[in-house]
């Protein structure tokens, strides 16, 4: 992703039911950071978005989101696999994330990609919804 993609990515994200809303200004700040990796998937428009924060030798998957009309076509799988390939080139050996306990789709997606659930943060989202902690060795 580059700064030129910010408008189209923020528009796509505004229509996705992620737990944390990412604005155009957030994206500009992320892109200016050396410790963030952001990948997008494109067809005729933005299909998917993935953001990692590097904390060597670990990385946190901060967000992954796919446009509703592109779901269940392997977009998230492709982004995650490409992201893991890049993380390995940066010496990252472990990936972790938080996901809302209510987000069945994402929890299933991570489960099919070798993440295991290993903790719970109470009332993490909006002081009401718990987050499940997941991680995997890469
Ligand atoms: C979770 C999300 C990123 C998955 O994106 P996607 O491109 O549709 O996922 P893929 O097509 O790569 O799915 C790969 C596998 O994950 C699992 N999976 C994905 N979505 C699923 C769903 N809604 N229900 C059950 N399993 C699902 C399946 O095993 C799927 O393989 P299959 O389609 O062959 O059965 C997408 O649903 C999304 O953007 N959700 C909203 C944002 C979000 O909650 N992000 C997570 C923040 S922590």
- Residue pLDDT tens, the chain, 138 long: 999 999 999 999 998 866 567 889 999 999 999 999 999 999 999 999 999 999 999 999 999 999 999 999 999 999 999 999 999 999 999 999 999 999 999 999 999 999 999 999 999 988 899 999 999 999
Hey, what are 133's tokens?
């902690």
**Ligand 1, atom 48: closest residue by C-alpha:** 99
Determine the atom of ligand 1 nearest the C-alpha atom of 100. Answer: 48
Please tell me the predicted confidence (pLDDT) of residue 19. 57
What pTM was computed for the model? 0.96
Q: Ligand 1 centre and the CA of 74: distance in Å?
A: 8
Q: Is 111 in the pocket of ligand 1 (CB under 6 A)?
A: no
For a ligand 1 pocket test, name from 78, 109, 131 the mutation site with the most ligand atoms within 8 angstroms of its C-beta.
109
Indicate the burial class of 1 (C-beta count within 10 angstroms; 0-12, 13-18, 19 or more).
Answer: buried
Domains observed in the chain:
3-137 (3.40.630.30)
Please tell me the predicted confidence (pLDDT) of residue 20. 67
**Ligand 1, atom 44: closest residue by C-alpha:** 18
Pair 6, 25: CB distance under 8 Å: no
CA-to-CA distance for 112 and 129, rounded, in angstroms? 23
CA-to-CA distance for 1 and 38, rounded, in angstroms? 6
């Amino acid at each position: 992703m580059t700064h030129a993609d910010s408008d189209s990515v923020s528009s796509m994200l505004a229509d996705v039911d992620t737990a944390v809303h990412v604005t155009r200004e957030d994206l500009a700040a992320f892109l200016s950071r050396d410790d963030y990796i952001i990948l997008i998937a494109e067809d005729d428009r933005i299909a998917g978005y993935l953001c990692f924060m590097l904390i060597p030798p670990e990385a946190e998957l901060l967000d992954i989101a796919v446009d509703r009309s592109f779901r269940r076509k392997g977009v998230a799988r492709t982004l995650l696999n490409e992201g893991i390939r890049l993380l390995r080139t940066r010496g990252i050996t472990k990936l972790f994330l938080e996901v809302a306990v209510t987000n069945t789709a994402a929890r299933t997606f991570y489960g099919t990609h070798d993440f295991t659930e290993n903790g719970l943060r109470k009332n993490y989202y909006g002081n009401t919804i718990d987050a499940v902690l997941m991680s995997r060795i890469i």
